[in-house]
Amino acid sequence: MWVRRIELTDFRNFKRAQLSLDKGLNLFLGLNAQGKTNLLESIYAASAGGTYRAARDGDMIRWGQEFFRIDLEVEREPAQVRIEFSVSAAGRRFARVNGTQKVRPSELGDYLNVVMFTPDDLNLVKGAPSERRRFLDREISQVSPAYRDWLDTYNRALAQRNALLKQIGGDARLLHAWDEQLVGAGARITMRRARVVADLSGRADEAHRGIAGDDQKLSLIYSPSVECGASLDETANAFRRRLSELAVAEAARGVTLVGPHRDDIRFELDGVDVAAFGSQGQQRSVVLALKLAEVGFITYRVGQKPVLLLDDVLSELDAGRRLRLMELVEMGCQALITSVEPGCAGLMPAGAKMFTISAGEVSEDGPQGRRCTEGNNIEAGLHNAAEGLDGDPRVEHGDRAEPEGSLGRDDGTGKDAVRDS
């Protein structure tokens, strides 16, 4: 899938912007604070139904205006899709597909899949566990409506259970109903996360070898707060046992101390914890490998490659890693890349489209839109290093057939969930 056209109205520092994109690589050059990141954020918001950069979606509205509007034309199988997403200053969100079909903002990921890298994504390695949980839940939710439902019910049950713990302590009779919802959703979330992390680990290891140019083994280690059993019943029973074991401590503290909201992921290179002992260059390479693994994962599950958004990705990589990353990026998916360095144009393959952004104005470089030509670019034909990153495409039907149970939403996302229709 790829974004053919973008139209922005009063989004961040863009008063009005319209541009057409190439289905391959698109490079956006400009100084800092001109709007490069804002442009990528608009595409992310039209997929996620909200921002990743601010506490409120209303913060994306241009200063002094009443609303913002994003309008995208997306090419995907089986047909082109038009996505409209807007947020008012009062906080009302509106999403529509193909001009007439109103959808919940959280459903927009069913029509446009994106993978985004920003400099802040280094927090996926060295930041708080909540950053890693949010990444994992966002990724799985893009390909699984059922998972969105599990997260939604889990978080509602968690909020109610915590409120009861604060009010009445550990009265088991009053907590029982919420315990069962928590366990039903939490066991499903835990098992799905475990499978996805195992899948990502292999993909990220292969991508990391390509970026770093060495044989260090990258491993993603899932650390659930509840033991993940071989079956749903085993995992659910383990969850119940931990709730029982921690009942006194939970009553004293007034919070639920076990469940998916306490899970974490660890990154290791040859068995060494990257967060504790990795250099910043290694941490950056690990995050990039994770993002490329996410591309492969989404492709495998939905049968189409997502749009890749890379914000200032090249600035802190050495020359070798830059070149190898670009070889991996051109893997058949659309990529939008921002940079403050005009010299990055030389890293683009022949045919890449280039834009300049200045003070919220976007212009194509040249009368007809300048494209990279043969010369000091990456040699055409070398961009097959992603072989094996995405297995055979298949559409996920299994989630829709799974038995209904407790469903929920990740803690702290603030986004409404949607039931699988």
Q: Is 325 left (phi over 0), alpha (psi -120 to 50) or beta?
A: alpha
Burial class (CB in 10 A: 0-12, 13-18, 19+), 63: exposed
- The pLDDT of residue 400 is above 80: no
Closest by alpha carbon to 76, among 301, 305, 291?
305
Q: What is the mean pLDDT of residues 73-100?
A: 95
Domain with CATH 1.20.1050.90 in the chain: 117-286+386-411
Under the banding of pLDDT at 50, 70 and 90, the label for residue 398 is very low
- Residue 267: the pLDDT is 98
* pLDDT recorded at residue 226: 95
Instruction: Give the closest residue to 364 by CA, choosing from 347, 350, 352, 375.
Output: 352
- 170: pLDDT confidence band, cut at 50, 70 and 90? low
Pairwise pLDDT comparison (264 vs 168), residue with the higher score: 264
Q: What is the pLDDT of residue 372?
A: 52
Q: How many CB atoms lie within 10 A of CB 16?
A: 12
CATH of domain 1-112+332-382: 3.40.50.300
Write down the pLDDT at residue 371.
55
Q: 331 with 295: CB under 8 angstroms?
A: yes
Separation of alpha carbons 194 and 222, rounded Å: 6
14 closest CA partner among 60, 66, 72, 51: 60
Q: Which helix (H) or strand (E) holds 44?
A: helix 36-48
d(CA 408, CA 148): 6
* CATH domain 117-286+386-411 topology: Glutathione S-transferase Yfyf (Class Pi); Chain A, domain 2 (1.20.1050)
pLDDT at 385: 28
Alpha-carbon distances, residue 308 vs 1, 115, 185, 230, 256 (angstroms): 10, 5, 31, 35, 37
Cα-based angle 141, 55, 47 (whole degrees, multiple of 5): 35
Mode of pairing for the β-strands spanning 218-223 and 307-311 = unpaired
pLDDT at 416: 37
Inter-axis angle of helices 129-143 and 280-302, nearest 10:
20
* Confidence category of residue 305, pLDDT binned at 50, 70, 90: very high
- CB burial of 136-166 (b: ≥16 within 10 Å; e: otherwise) equals bbbbbbbbbbbbbbbbbbbbbbbeebbebbe
pLDDT average, residue stretch 165-175 = 79
Cα separation, 105 vs 86, in Å, equals: 9
Q: For the chain, give every residue range classified as CATH 3.40.50.300.
A: 1-112+332-382
Is the confidence at residue 315, as pLDDT, over 60? yes
* Better-scored residue on pLDDT, 331 or 190: 190
| Position 369 pLDDT exceeds 80 | no
Among 137, 157, 155, 156, CA closest to 147: 137
Cα radius of gyration rounded to whole Å, the chain: 22
On whether the CB atoms of residues 302 and 115 are closer than 8 A, the answer is no
More confident residue, 97 or 396: 97
